[in-house]
Structure 1
Amino acid sequence: MAVKWLDDPEDHDFDAAADYLSMLAEDATVTATVTELRSAKPLYRKAKDILRAARLTVLPVDNPHVKSDLAKIEAGKKLSPILLVRGTPADAMQIADGYHRVCASFLTEENTAIPCRLVSWVHPA
């Protein structure tokens, strides 16, 4: 079964990204970075490459959120694109929102091109 994707992330995805990123950076940096995510052009990356760049392992099929996303895929529903923040060579890329969706896509077909928004951290002056 092919994974289907929405054209744009949903508004609550940006809120979730901000919540997560707020544990890694100061408020002004998070706000500026999420603003960049909102306007970033979509690009496509494979699930296996996203997990490698983020230095994360695939979550198991029985994870409740992965299981929910797998059910959506099976039902032909579209998933929301993934929000990514580029790391440095020393620090991993952050999946700001969509880790479970990446894992569900990986478990379905690891080479599927996933629509993403990818930005670098924005540090306000």
Structure 2
Amino acid sequence: MSTPALSAADLWLPEPEEHDFPAAADYLDLIFDAQRVRRIVTALRQAQTLTKKAKDVMRASQLPLLPADNVHVKHNIRKVHAGGKLSPVLLVRGQPLVIADGYHRVCAAYHLTEDLDIPCRLVNG
């Protein structure tokens, strides 16, 4: 389902949406203590948005690529094809990289075009 004509500007919003930060906190709460979660989410809010390749985010996270027919991945792919844009992903450096928010969006981007840059916020864990 590769779509090479798409550019990063076609797929992504310039900044994360507000609801992404509490979603990241909910996920990170499963991994880290509350104080560390607050520190990480504050850092994610303050970090500059940068870009990384979908294939590199997937490799660093060591997560499996969800199939294009996964309900959430499919929703994101359809959103892009309908002219909508995806929110940048929130990442935490670690071994492996933690996708705090945006796993389905990364998988959707990979299926659309794995070499395209993904806007993200990246902080130390």
TM > 0.5: yes
Over the matched positions of the two proteins, sequence identity in percent amounts to 53
Q: Is 1:67 matched with 2:74?
A: yes
CA distance in 1, matches of 2:74, 2:123: 28
For residues 57-110 of structure 1, what are the alpha-carbon distances to aligned partners after superposition, in whole Å with 9 as ceiling and x for unaligned? 2100111100100101111211000000000xxx20100000000000000000
CA distance in 1, matches of 2:123, 2:14: 18
Q: Mind listing any 5+ residue stretches in structure 1 that lack a counterpart?
A: none
Paired residue type of 1:57: P
Q: Is 1:116 matched with 2:124?
A: no
Runs of 4+ in structure 1 displaced over 2 angstroms?
A: none
Q: Mind listing any 5+ residue stretches in structure 2 that lack a counterpart?
A: none
Indicate the SS of the match to 2:119: strand
2:23 to 10, 16, 21: 16
What pairs up with 1:88-103 in 2 under 5 angstroms? 91-103=95-107
Q: What RMSD, in angstroms, separates the aligned Cα atoms of the two structures? A: 0.8
- TM, length-normalised to structure 1: 0.92
For residues 33-57 of structure 1, what are the alpha-carbon distances to aligned partners after superposition, in whole Å with 9 as ceiling and x for unaligned? 0000001011100100000000012
CA distance in 1, matches of 2:26, 2:49: 22
Aligned to 1:77: 84
- TM, length-normalised to structure 2: 0.92
2:33 to 1, 12, 26: 26
CA distance in 2, matches of 1:58, 1:93: 14
CA distance in 1, matches of 2:45, 2:85: 19
Residue-pair matches, total: 118
Aligned to 1:57: 64
CA distance in 1, matches of 2:61, 2:112: 19
Aligned to 1:86: 93
